[in-house]
Amino acid sequence: MTFERKTIVVAMSGGVDSSVVAAMLHEQGHDVIGITLQLYDHGMALQKKGACCAGQDIYDAKMVADRLGIPHYVFDYESKFKQEVIDDFADSYLNGETPLPCVKCNQSVKFHDLLKAAKELKADALATGHYIQKIINGNRAEMHKGFDENKDQSYFLFATTKEQLDYLMFPLGGQTKEETRALAEKYNLEVANKPDSQDICFVPNGNYRDIITKLRPGSDKAGKFIHIDGYEIGDHKGIINYTVGQRKGLGISFGSPLYVIKIDPEENKVYVGPESDLVKTKFTLKNVNWLADDLAPNEARVEVKIRSTTAGVNAILSHNEQNSFVVTLLEEEKAITPGQACVFYQGARLLGGGWITREIE
């Protein structure tokens, strides 16, 4: 088979995964161009260790590119990131939701603007270090879970469109993290033993409340705890401090354990009740992305994940009168949380996903 040399842009975060992708493709003989995104204030970035797209990470990506002898560019997407990800993060909490900023970042900045930049550089593809698999079935590109399910990142990429998937490459999808680190040692990359990024990149010390109150003054306005049976049970410290399913930190004295059941941002109320009231079987999704052209989404039997770290549960998808997607679970699930993602699978294949609304039964 004749080797087809391509120009490939690699999204280099400064971590071991994307660095190995750049080294692999370079070793294969492709023309590799590294791009690193500066997504938030450089001064704040230097304070935040172990994060994606921070000051040290930009330096590390440049160091790897220099070792490989490939071009490397840093793109300043700070204003775009603030608008599309950070502001959305704050507003989601004010709307009584629990956001997923990493999905929003992939959906907007990384797989939209970065992909556009790659095409402007006349690249044949954009490669990332995500642990997912792109499988060509006939003339159709499908997204599948990563080979190593402990590292699978498909949940966070459910919003990838068919057009984007056609252009993307995921060279690490068929291997384990241990194999990736071994390759980093083989290529003699300085980041071989660098820890994985943790938490939300733009939240120093994990304190997201400080970010929200700075962006949205008055967002921590106190209100009432309401028992799910309808009576007041105490005062809360602002709805941004609570999420569905939360038990600890409520500060309520009661005879039995209480959990956050739902949040009403219009009335500034937090409803609490016993754990049994967290069990739900039906909810509505918005902004659904459907990747499976060969399957009809209505009345489809699928496996859904409502959190990245949990096993999937069987469900049926349907449309309601407003043409929104409705998910009916065939097994009970707890703490279905507005603002989080619901992602659909058939086996290892990702079919699509959407955002959980506050319409939960």
- Count other C-beta atoms under 10 Å from residue 261's C-beta: 23
Name the active-site residue from 52, 53, 102, 201.
201
Q: Which of 340, 308, 295, 313 is nearest to 154 (CA)?
A: 308
Six token digits for residue 89: 């993060």
- φ, ψ dihedrals at 34, nearest 5°: -95, 135
Across the chain, which has 361 residues, the per-10-residue mean pLDDT values are 86 95 97 91 49 73 95 91 91 93 88 90 96 94 94 94 95 96 95 81 79 90 96 95 94 93 96 95 94 87 92 90 85 92 96 92 76
Q: How far from the centroid of its chain's Cα atoms is residue 180's Cα?
A: 21
Whole-angstrom Cα Rg for the chain: 22
pTM (2 decimals)?
0.90
155 DSSP 8-state letter: G
Encode 256-296 in three state secondary structure. CCCEEEEEECCCCEEEEECHHHHEEEEEEEEEEEECCCCCC
β strands within the chain, DSSP E: 7-11, 31-38, 72-76, 125-127, 132-137, 140-145, 168-169, 223-227, 232-236, 259-264, 269-273, 279-290, 301-305, 313-319, 325-334, 341-346, 349-360
Name the active-site residue from 52, 53, 105, 342.
105
53 included as an active-site residue: no
- Look at strands 31-38 and 7-11 and give their pairing: parallel
At position 344, the amino acid (one-letter code) is F
For residue 56, what are the CA distances in angstroms to 26, 67, 218?
Answer: 23, 17, 34
- Write out the H or E segment, with its range, that includes residue 90: helix 87-94
With beta carbons less than 8 A apart as the criterion, state whether 353 and 342 touch.
yes
For residue 45, what pLDDT is reported? Answer: 44
- Look at strands 125-127 and 168-169 and give their pairing: parallel
For residue 296, what pLDDT is reported? Answer: 84
State the first-to-last Cα distance of the chain, in angstroms, to the nearest integer.
Answer: 56
- Look at strands 140-145 and 341-346 and give their pairing: unpaired
Cα–Cα distance measured from residue 161 to residue 225, given in angstroms and rounded to the nearest whole number: 41
Residue where the block lists tokens 């993290």: 177
For residue 204, what are the CA distances in angstroms to 45, 91, 201, 268?
Answer: 9, 19, 8, 27
